[in-house]
Structure 1
Amino acid sequence: MPLDEFDRAIIAVLQEDARMPVAQVAERVSLSATPVSRRIKRLEEEGIITGYQPVLDPRRLGLELDAYVLINLDAHSDANIERFEQAILDSPYVIACHAVTGDMDYLVHVVARDVEHLSQITLKSLLRIPGVRDVKSIIVLETVKAPRTLPLD
């Protein structure tokens, strides 16, 4: 079902603050609370809104280092891919993983306490996953833009 202007406005408000009470969302989008509540429920049921979670500051949690790790597998068999992806799912320091095009097979987003911790994650975890051939790490020096919202146009 396509989104109308009210759906987009509701989503935009919830992207700013997902804990905002329905009455306040309604006020911001110029609708009454009941239709806003129904629309939010529909957006959730349709899978447009897939959940709510707090946005955490990794540095305040002692995770000072942000890195991307490019990984190549030595073979692309189903078993090799399943083994790799399960190991990635099991790693608490991997916060995102994407299969990608180009020279590498996966782009893995890792958070770590420091460079030594990243080294441990890379050498003692990622490189030891059976089937991993190459690993290249890129350490983030500064984040210029890290959107937490999606464009709605």
Structure 2
Amino acid sequence: MFEVDNFDFQILRAIQKDARIPQSELGEVVNLSTAAVNRRLKKLKENGVIKQYTALLNQESLGFGLTIITNIEVESEQIHELDATRRDFENCPYVQQCYYVTGEWDFVLIFAVKSMDQYNDLTRELFFQKPNVKRFKTLVAMSKAKVGLELAL
């Protein structure tokens, strides 16, 4: 396993807040040279600590006003059936997050959609037309108290 030291944690905290921070400015924040920051960022990326750099878009300003959480129970938990079901969920561009979970439900999905009609169409495609989906439960987010993927480093 790749060892992450205190400098790496400082760098990771800073780029979680702003991945576009210039490396020279990042170096000042963590008290390292720009070259040292560059080397560390490269190693963090090569070792899979940094998965990707991305932009966080404002859903509402782009018309995706509904966040929907869906719990799914599958009919069969045979591995090939689970894998096929998971792939269907992963391949849907409206599914932002997909979790295989323990307990009463097998999967939890987080959707970003433009309308209830669009979600209804997705339920037909992802749930009703798939023989391995036994049942699902839909929760519509009334408001967003906190949304993010930052780790508490």
What TM-score comes out, normalization by structure 2 length?
A: 0.92
By how many angstroms is 1:8 displaced? 0.9
Gaps of 5+ in 1: none
1:10-49 matches, within 5 Å, as 10-49=11-50
Alignment partners' CA distance in 1, 2:114 and 2:103: 30
8 Å contact from structure 1 (residues 83, 130) kept in 2: no
By how many angstroms is 1:63 displaced? 0.8
Q: Work out the percentage of aligned pairs sharing the same amino acid.
A: 28
By how many angstroms is 1:4 displaced? 1.9
Alignment partners' CA distance in 2, 1:134 and 1:72: 5
**1:82-124 deviations in Å (ceiling 9; x for gaps):** 2212211221111111111111110011111122222221234
Number of aligned residues: 152
Aligned twin of 1:63: 64
Alignment partners' CA distance in 2, 1:78 and 1:148: 28
8 Å contact from structure 2 (residues 89, 126) kept in 1: no
- Name the Cα RMSD after superposition: 1.4
What TM-score comes out, normalization by structure 1 length?
A: 0.92
Q: State the AA in 2 paired with 1:116.
A: D
Cα 1:124/1:51, change in 2 over 3 Å = closer
Gaps of 5+ in 2: none
Aligned twin of 2:51: 50
Aligned twin of 1:137: 138
By how many angstroms is 1:76 displaced? 1.2
Q: State the AA in 1 paired with 2:38.
A: S
